[in-house]
Chain A
Amino acid sequence: MVRSINVEEITRNVKEMCIEANHYLSPDMDAAMKRAEQEEKAPLGKQILEQLQENLKIAAADMIPICQDTGMAVVFLEIGQDVHLEGGLLEDAVNEGVRQGYTEGYLRKSVVKDPLIRENTKDNTPAIIHTRIVAGDKVKIKVAPKGFGSENMSRIFMLKPAEGIEGVKNAVLTAVKDAGPNACPPMVVGVGIGGTFEKSALMAKEALTREVGKHSDIEYVKDLEEELLSRINGLGIGPGGLGGTTTALAVNINTYPTHIAGLPVAVNICCHVNRHVIREV
């Protein structure tokens, strides 16, 4: 049975999700931030984490975005193949949702029309849209506005297979070390291992939307996530990059089959305002 969904419903949801994501952290991120505040050893680091708690309270109570960089809207769509979308083009509907959300929600317009001519589009469109066709008759929408302080510190390494797991660990630690205070730690580190050049980057981005605290189902990947988190927190970068024991809240790794000649590793870094809202329509 084919189920019809009017794209206006996509627009309405995307709009609400942009506003929600920029004012409230998801429950997993909220819990991770509270835990970090309790566990941080450095006095200045602790003070910064307390300020970030206060910041979250003010953001929610007064409807002021958590961060002024309300991001470029990254939207993941999983479309059931039994869905028939009607009433307009899907991508237009998503962009209309972003336009309404950023305009009516007092969010910052941070998108320029051309990467070199750099004229602001004034409504934060276009979004970055990733679409996947899946089984079923629903549409799953994930809205993840991404700030560029941390985006700019993200990296791709095309390793040699001989570099193996040690090479992967070095790549992740190098990216985090280089990012330091620029990426607004405590950060969340999304990693994509395998696939092709672009597949690894997309996996790293999507890994950021995984619930913080939830590990990979693959045993060795789970171990790698835990080891890397502990070693990143041993770098001493700390909250705000001003020294401390909390540099990252999570390392989320996604993997995919790759070519006999390659070992791509993408590291997508997100600040502590790791925004993601998920809905199903």
Chain B
Amino acid sequence: MDKHITAPITKEISKSLRSGDYVYITGTIYTARDAAHKRMYDILAEGGELPIDIKDQVIYYMGPSPAREGRPIGSAGPTTASRMDKYAPQLLDLGLGAMIGKGKRTPEVIDAIIRNGCVYFAAVGGAGALLSKCITSSEVVAYDDLGTEAIRKLTVENFPVIVVIDSEGNNLYETAIKEYCTEA
């Protein structure tokens, strides 16, 4: 079913979402992909503090193309989430509210989603031009030297995502495929 939510996302909201829901997000989300995750992971290992307060935040696995003059951002679709699987459980345990990406997650990430009552959304891969229209502002807030991989704070309006893994661990990638599989 179609739902409209705001970000940051409370546990109450994330627990109300079900695998297969079509969700429009409005509010503030953060981008981080491979290099930013590695840095955050290393900082935590050294006992340091993260550059952003991730409590209840939504992290979008995305590295945009450069913005043309007068636009907030360039093409801005999701990247493959599995490359962040090594880092995600720790961030979820530290209070991260939700993740937006595309593709499968490991059992360890799914366990951390259930344990913390979080949610994993997919945005449509390869629809970066369309998705950029739902982003009204973008500001680099950490790791500027990483270029496209810097951490950005985005303001989004009715940003369309689909709940793939909900807080109970239901996984749309598994259930939806069965329905249309005819190959033994």
- Indicate which residue in A68, A182, A271 contacts B62 across the interface (CB closer than 8 Å): A68
Per-residue contact bits, chain A 172-183, to B (CB 8 Å; 1 contact, 0 not): 010000001110
Task: Select from chain B the residue with minimum beta-carbon distance to A237.
Answer: B177
The distance in angstroms between the C-alpha atoms of A56 and B75, with both chains bound, is 12
What is the size, in residues, of chain B's interface with A at 8 Å between Cβ atoms? 46
Query: Which of A48, A122, A231, A232 has its CB near the most chain B CB atoms (within 10 A)?
Result: A48
- How far is it, in angstroms, between the C-alpha of A95 and the C-alpha of B167 when the chains are bound? 47
Bound complex: CA A29 to CA B127 (Å)? 15
Selecting from B47-55, B66-74, B151-159, the interface stretch reads: B66-74
B64:A55 contact, CB within 8 angstroms: no
Asked if B124 is at the interface of the complex by the 8 Å CB criterion, the answer is yes
- Asked if residues B124 and A240 are in contact (CB atoms below 8 Å), the reply is yes
- A238 near B148 with CB under 8 A, answer no
Tell yes or no: A125 within 8 A of B by CB: no
Knowing A65-B74, A109-B147, A235-B183, the reply to whether A58 touches B133 (Cβ < 8 A) is: yes
Q: Measured between alpha carbons, how far is A137 from B130 in the docked complex, in Å?
A: 43
Chain B residue contacts of A149, Cβ below 8 A: 79-80, 102-103, 125
Distance between B29 CB and nearest chain A CB, rounded to angstroms: 15
A54 at interface (Cβ–Cβ under 8 A)?
yes
The residues of A that contact B127 with a CB separation of less than 8 Å are 51-52, 54-55, 67
- Could you tell me if B63 and A55 are in contact, using CB atoms closer than 8 angstroms? no
What are the residues of chain A within 8 A of B180 when measuring CB–CB?
Answer: 41-42, 45, 236, 238, 243-245
Contact B103 A241 (CB under 8 A): yes
CB distance from B41 to the nearest CB of A (A): 14
CB closest residue in chain A, given B69:
A106
CA distance A236 to B176 in the complex (A): 8
Taken together as a complex, chains A and B put the C-alpha atoms of A207 and B67 apart, in Å, by: 33
Contacts of B133 in A (CB 8 A): 58
- Of A45, A62, A68, A234, chain B has the most CB atoms within 10 Å of the CB of A68
Interface residues on A, range: 35 or more
Please determine whether B68 and A242 come into contact, CB atoms closer than 8 angstroms. Answer: no
Q: Is there contact, CB below 8 Å, between A108 and B63?
A: yes
CA distance A215 to B94 in the complex (A): 52
Q: Is there contact, CB below 8 Å, between A109 and B148?
A: yes
Would A271 and B126 count as touching, CB distance under 8 A? yes
Interchain CA distance A50-B120 in the complex, whole Å: 23
Q: Which of A62, A67, A242 contacts B122 (CB 8 A)?
A: A242
Asked if A46 is at the interface of the complex by the 8 Å CB criterion, the answer is no
Find chain B residues with CB under 8 A from A236 CB. Answer: 176-183
A168 CB–B CB distance under 8 Å: no
Which among B65, B66, B102 has the greatest number of chain A C-beta atoms within 10 A?
B65
Contacts of A243 in B (CB 8 A): 172, 175-180
Asked, given contacts A65-B74, A68-B76, whether A55 binds B130 with beta carbons under 8 Å apart, the answer is: yes
CB < 8 Å: which of A70, A152, A173, A182 contacts B104?
A: A182
Shortest distance in angstroms between B143's beta carbon and chain A's nearest beta carbon? 12
B95 within 8 A of A: no
Assuming the contacts A120-B147, A235-B183, asked whether A67 and B77 have C-beta atoms less than 8 A apart, the reply is: yes
- Residue pair A108, B103 in contact (C-beta under 8 Å): no
In the complex, whether B27 has a CB less than 8 A from a CB of chain A is no
Task: Tell whether, in the assembled complex, residue A68 and residue B75 are in contact, meaning their CB atoms are under 8 Å apart.
Answer: yes
Contact status B177-A182, CB under 8 Å: no
The A-contacting residues of B in range 23-69, CB under 8 angstroms, are 35, 62-68
CA distance A244 to B172 in the complex (A): 12
Check if B116 is an interface residue, CB within 8 A of chain A: no
Instruction: Give A contacts to B, CB under 8 Å.
Output: 41-42, 44-45, 48, 51-52, 54-56, 58-59, 62-70, 106-110, 118, 120, 122, 149, 152, 173, 180-182, 184, 231-232, 234-238, 240-245, 271-273
5 contacts across the A-B interface (CB closer than 8 A) = A69-B79, A70-B65, A180-B177, A182-B80, A240-B124
A-B pairs, 5 with minimum CB distance = A243-B176, A236-B181, A236-B180, A182-B103, A184-B125
Given A69-B79, A149-B80, 17 other A-B residues pairs in contact with their CB atoms under 8 A = A41-B180, A42-B179, A48-B124, A51-B130, A52-B124, A54-B127, A55-B130, A65-B75, A65-B129, A67-B125, A67-B126, A107-B65, A182-B82, A182-B103, A237-B177, A241-B122, A244-B180
